[in-house]
Structure formats: C-alpha cells, structure tokens
Structure 1
Amino acid sequence: MFDIDGVLTDGRIHVLPDGRAVRNMTTHDSFAIQLAIKKGLRVAIISGGSGLGISEILRHLGVVDLYLNAAYKIEAYEDLKACYGLSDSEICYMGDDLPDYEVMSRVRLAVCPHDAAPEIRAISHYVSPKTGGNGCVRDILEQTLRVRGWWNDVHSRSW
C-alpha cells in the first residue's frame, strides 16, 4: 500500500492558470508498479488528496484499489483488509507524513522515503535511500520482486 503525495510524487503541486493541479511522478515508479501487478502483487493506494490526474495514471498501470480523499487513512486501510481477508502481518505500507502514522504503526512492514517526516522515519522498518517522487516506490517494489525471483526475468522486460 502506498500514499501519493510525498511518496509517489515529490509532494509539490503545481497549479496551472485554469486552477488544475499537476503532480510530478517518475516513470521508474510507474514501471515497477505495473510490473508488480503483472506478477501478482496487489498494489493499493490510500491518499488524503484527490489526486485526480494521478488516479488515471495509476488505473492505467493496473491499480484497482484506489482510496482518495481518505481523511482518516485507517478507515480505508481497514476496508482493504476486510475486502481481501488480510491481516496486519501481510501488509507493507509506504507513507511519509503524520496522516500515515496510524496505518504504519500496524503493518508488518512500514517503509518510507528518505525525506519522510521524522516521526514516520522513527517507526519505519526500512527507510529508502530515495526521496518521495524520485524512485522510493520502485526501490521497495524492486526489492520485493527480486526476493521472489521476479525482477529480471524474460516477462519483466516490457510494459
């Protein structure tokens, strides 16, 4: 499970003259997300923001479980667990700021980008050397896929 702002994006929001918000996301994270989904990993997103533009990209990559405007992320987290019959011990969550704290306190593997809030870094089992929006999602997904032997096989070399 991943947050959007500060994890999939660098946390900056550019506002266009017409009022639309634009976020930056790296294709390195995008490639890893679609590959993880193709290989059978379930990727879910829980974000307090609306992320309308990025939600289209995530759906195109194969993300089915997309919780936006989640004021209390723990509610979305509990819903996801119930939907799939998961326990806390089966879940990895990457967050970067205080709204992620409660979920990260429960999961088996709490991870964060290098530039996460100090409180989040303190409860994380792993701190990526990559910052939010700059490959931290790929870092954790690539490690997961490598451990399973799914990273650099013949089926992983295409979009």
Structure 2
Amino acid sequence: MQNMVSEKILKKARSVKLLILDVDGVLTDGRLFFDDQGVEYKCFHARDGHGIKLLRQTGVEVAVISGRKSNSVAIRMKNLGIDLVYQGHEDKIAAFYEILEKLSIAPEHAAHVGDDLLDLPIMRRVGLSVAVQDANFAVKQYADWCTQTPGGLGAVREVCDMIMQAQGRFDQVLKLFLS
C-alpha cells in the first residue's frame, strides 16, 4: 500500500488522531432502500467495520457525521463501538467542531472521508481529506487522496489500512492474526 501513496499523504496520515466518516456513499454505496412501509435499509461492508475496529485499537478515534438520519446507522455504529455519531447534520461543520472540542484534537490531526458536496466544508479544514473512488468529481478535486475502492465496498478499510501503515502500526495489527 505505501508505494501507492505519496510521501506527502503518508506524512499527513502519520499525524491522524481522528478519522471522520460520512455514511451514504462512504460507509454505504449510496443507494437507499425502502420497504413498502417506508422502513429504510442500508448495506454496510464487513471489511470497513473490521478496519474501523482495528484502527481504533491502534488509538485513532473514529466519528461519523451524516446529513441523513437512520436507525440502521445508529445500530451499526453501536456494533462498532463508535460513540461519536452525528446524524441529520446537513451543515456538518458544527458537529465537526464539537467532536474536535470533545476530543481536544486540532483540525490538522483529523482526517475525513467523503463523497459529495456536503463533505467539502470539513474536507477543506482537516489535515487529511479523502474521497472515495466514486465520489463526485468536485470532491475528488479537493481531496488530498482518493481511494481505489468505491464507497460502501471497502473504501473505508482502504483508508484505515493506509493510516495504520503510515503510522507504523499495521504490522503490529497483522501479527495478531499470524500468531
């Protein structure tokens, strides 16, 4: 992975203490499913969840800020142990600053993964901004780095692995599974 990422991006990733994720289009593929009663369903990728858990074990905190509100997001984030979940925030900046204040983290020590225009205000303020492979073209234009994987199909895992590698913690995580 490291040979596919520039030294400039790895340097930014080394200082990440907080990873902030969008939901629709990042943790999911962006499609919305509703049944006849209006109940919404979302599909999350298991590898993204495992990457989040591993990243958190290395000391990087993870938060979610979403413009939409969904019970399935609350359930999934609870399953992953993520307490910093902000849903229904179309203006994501207030949630962003609240999280930074709660964790006493400066914006340059945060990373954000987004896919659409609502993510740009945060992406322009963090130390490392990431767009998923199938993000809107304007979002890609402002991102420091783009994943090779589309949103909802392992892009978050790709980001988690890259951060762990940049911080020299991936091998330590890998050893847990090789013993």
Task: Give your verdict on TM over 0.5.
Answer: yes
What does residue 30 of structure 1 align with? Answer: 49
Helix, strand or coil at the partner of 2:130:
strand
Deviations 1:53-93 (A, max 9, x none): 12211111111100000120011001111111221111100
Helix, strand or coil at the partner of 1:44:
strand
What does residue 138 of structure 2 align with? Answer: 119
In structure 1, stretches of 5+ residues that fail to align are none
Helix, strand or coil at the partner of 1:80:
helix
- Counterpart pick for 2:90 among 51, 60, 71: 71
Is the CA contact 1:48–1:70 (under 8 Å) kept in the aligned structure 2? yes
1:148 and 1:100 map into 2 onto residues whose CA distance is 25
**4+ residue runs of structure 1 moved beyond 6 angstroms?**
none
- Counterpart pick for 2:128 among 90, 102, 109: 109
What does residue 154 of structure 1 align with? Answer: 175
Aligned: 1:61 with 2:80: yes
CA apart distance, 1:51: 2.4
1:138 and 1:63 map into 2 onto residues whose CA distance is 15
2:151 and 2:51 map into 1 onto residues whose CA distance is 15
Q: How many pairs were matched up?
A: 157
Is the CA contact 1:10–1:132 (under 8 Å) kept in the aligned structure 2? yes
Deviations 1:24-59 (A, max 9, x none): 111110110111122221000000111211221111
CA apart distance, 1:103: 0.7
Helix, strand or coil at the partner of 2:24:
helix
Deviations 1:102-140 (A, max 9, x none): 111111100010111111100000000111101110001
Aligned: 1:95 with 2:111: no
Is the CA contact 1:47–1:67 (under 8 Å) kept in the aligned structure 2? yes
TM-score (norm 1): 0.93
Give the aligned CA root-mean-square deviation in angstroms.
1.4
